[in-house]
Every structure is written in structure tokens, then in C-alpha cells.
Amino acid sequence: MGAWAAGSFDNDDAGDWVWELAEADTSILEEAFSRVTDCEDYLEAPDCSIGIAAAEVVAALRKRPASKLPDEVSAFVTRIGTPPSAELVSSALSALKRIKTKSELQELWDESDSRAEWHQAIAELEGRLR
């Protein structure tokens, strides 16, 4: 799975994605969410991991960041400097709902010994988005 812990940025896919934030605007977040919410087929783990990372960025833009943010995320939030729109927050929550209930990533975590930790991390993120 390329993950070393249940945290939102504790996997290869999210780690690679945050590098794209350097020259991006908030459309990068919208794209990450639409890859999750618009998927009618099997939702694969890489898109899920990126969707979760993007949701963390939205939470940080709301001034409710995770305790450990990559420097790239902090720099993006500082550069953007404005709270996210209600639509972007809603998109983040919709993506998380899909990821935690019907996705390859959810299946992988549900088969692991860290199932409860992952579901708790997602619930905590949802709480910071509400």
C-alpha cells in the first residue's frame, strides 16, 4: 500500500502529491475531490490517498490543521491565505464519505491491524472540516 502509518500524509501517494502544491491554486483540491466523487468504477487507493491529503489542506485553510503538516502544505495555505469556499468544504466531506465506505483504500485498511486507527483519523479529519 505504500503507507507507514494511518495519518493523512503517511503514504507515498500523498507525499508525492504535496509537491504539486508549490505552484498550484485551489483547483488542485477540486481536481483531487472530483477524481474520488466522480469515479463510477472501482475507486483505487492512490486517488483516495490524494483525496484525503487534499481534505487536510482544506481543513488547514479553515485554520483547523492536523498536528503534523508537511512544509509544502503550510506554504500553500500561507500563499492562498483565504478560507475555502463552502462548496470546497462540501466536496472534501463528500470525498471522505466515499473513501471511507467504498474504496480500495478502505478495504486495505479494514484488512490491516490498524483498521480502527485509520477510521479514527478519517473521523477526526471530518470533524475538523465541519
Q: Residues 29-55: pLDDT tens digits?
A: 999 999 999 999 999 999 999 999 999
Q: Does a structural domain hold residue 2?
A: no
Average pLDDT value over all residues in the chain: 96
d(CA 78, CA 33): 21
| 99 pLDDT above the threshold of 70 | yes
The answer to whether 98 and 43 are in contact (CB under 8 A) is: yes
d(CA 99, CA 36): 7
Domain count for the chain? 1
| 10 pLDDT above the threshold of 80 | yes
Neighbours of 103 (CB within 10 A): 22
Q: Does a structural domain hold residue 1?
A: no
Question: Cα-Cα-Cα-Cα dihedral of 79, 3, 88, 37, to 10°?
Answer: 150
Q: Does a structural domain hold residue 66?
A: yes
Task: Look up residue 114 and give its amino acid.
Answer: S
Q: Does a structural domain hold residue 99?
A: yes
Q: Which residues contact 109 (CB under 8 A, 6 or more apart)?
A: 6, 115, 118, 119
Backbone angles phi, psi at 3, to 5 degrees: -120, 145
Note down the domain range covering 80. Answer: 12-129
Q: Does a structural domain hold residue 5?
A: no
| 82 pLDDT above the threshold of 80 | yes
Model pLDDT, residue 6: 86
pLDDT digits (tens, 9 = 90+) for 83-97: 999 999 999 999 999
